[in-house]
Chains A and B, each alone.
Chain A
Amino acid sequence: MVQALPMPQVNAGEDRIAELEDIERLFARYQPRVLRLATVALGDADEAASVTQDCFLRAHATRAQFRGQCATSTWLIQIALNLIRDRARTRRFQFWRKVQRRALDAEAFAGQIASAASSSESQLLARERVAQVWSALAELSPRQRTVFVLRFVEEMEMDAIAAATGMTTATVKTHLYRALHEVRARVGSGQGA
Chain B
Amino acid sequence: MNTHLTAQQRNDIALGTADAAASAHLAVCVRCHAEAEATAAALASFRLAAVRWSEQAAVRAWLPQSNRRLKVAAWPAWALAAVLLVGMAIPLARRQSPPPAAVSAQAQLSRDNQLLARIDTEIGASAPAALQPLQNVQ
Q: Which residues of A contact B (CB under 8 A)?
A: 28, 31-33, 35-36, 39-40, 45, 49, 52, 105, 108-113, 116, 126, 129-130, 132-134, 149, 151-153, 155, 158, 173, 176-177, 180-181, 183-184, 187-188, 191
Q: Determine the distance from Cα of A191 to Cα of B37 in the docked complex, in whole angstroms.
A: 11
Contacts of B54 in A (CB 8 A): 32-33, 35-36, 39
Q: List 29 A-B contacts (CB under 8 A).
A: A31-B58, A35-B57, A35-B58, A36-B51, A39-B50, A39-B57, A40-B50, A109-B49, A109-B50, A111-B49, A112-B52, A126-B41, A129-B41, A129-B42, A129-B45, A130-B42, A133-B42, A133-B46, A149-B50, A151-B15, A152-B47, A155-B47, A180-B11, A183-B14, A183-B39, A184-B7, A184-B35, A191-B34, A191-B38
List chain B positions with a Cβ less than 8 A from chain A: 7-8, 10-11, 14-15, 34-35, 38-39, 41-43, 45-58, 61-62
Residues of B within 8 A of A177 (CB): 8, 11
Could you say which of B11, B38, B42, B53 contacts A176, with CB atoms under 8 Å apart? B11
The 7 nearest A-B residue pairs measured at CB: A36-B54, A112-B52, A129-B42, A32-B54, A133-B46, A112-B49, A109-B49
Q: Is the CB of A133 within 8 A of B35?
A: no
Total cross-chain contacts (CB, 8 A): 103
Interface of A is mostly: helix
- Is A130 within 8 A of B52, CB to CB? no
Q: A28-B62, A52-B61 are in contact. List 15 more A-B contacts (CB 8 A).
A: A36-B50, A36-B51, A49-B61, A109-B49, A109-B50, A109-B53, A129-B45, A130-B49, A133-B46, A180-B14, A180-B15, A181-B7, A183-B14, A183-B42, A184-B14
Cα distance, A62 to B56, chains bound together (Å): 28
Contacts of A109 in B (CB 8 A): 46, 49-50, 53
C-alpha gap A28/B55 in the complex (Å): 10
Most buried by A among B47, B57, B62: B57
Name the residue on A nearest B57 (C-beta): A35
- Find out whether the CB atom of B53 lies under 8 angstroms from the CB atom of A105: yes
Q: For the complex, give the distance between the alpha carbons of A65 and B8 in Å.
A: 41
CA gap between A133 and B14 in the complex, in Å? 14
A183, B51: Cβ atoms under 8 Å? no
Known: A112-B56, A153-B46. A187 touches B7 (CB 8 A): no
Q: For the complex, what is the distance from the CA of A181 to the CA of B48, rounded to whole Å?
A: 21
CA distance A109 to B34 in the complex (A): 25
Alpha-carbon gap, A113 to B61, bound state (A): 21
**What is the minimal beta-carbon distance from B10 to any residue of chain A, in angstroms?**
6
> A111 CA to B45 CA in the complex, in Å?
11
- Beyond A32-B58, A176-B15, A180-B14, whether A116 also contacts B39 by CB under 8 A is no
B45 touches A126 (CB 8 A): yes
Point out the residues of chain B lying under 8 angstroms from A149, CB to CB. 50
Residues on the A chain within 8 Å of B15, using CB = 151, 158, 173, 176, 180
Task: Name the B residues within 8 Å of A28 (CB-CB).
Answer: 62
Q: Are B61 and A31 in contact (CB under 8 A)?
A: yes
List of B residues within 8 angstroms of A33 by Cβ: 54
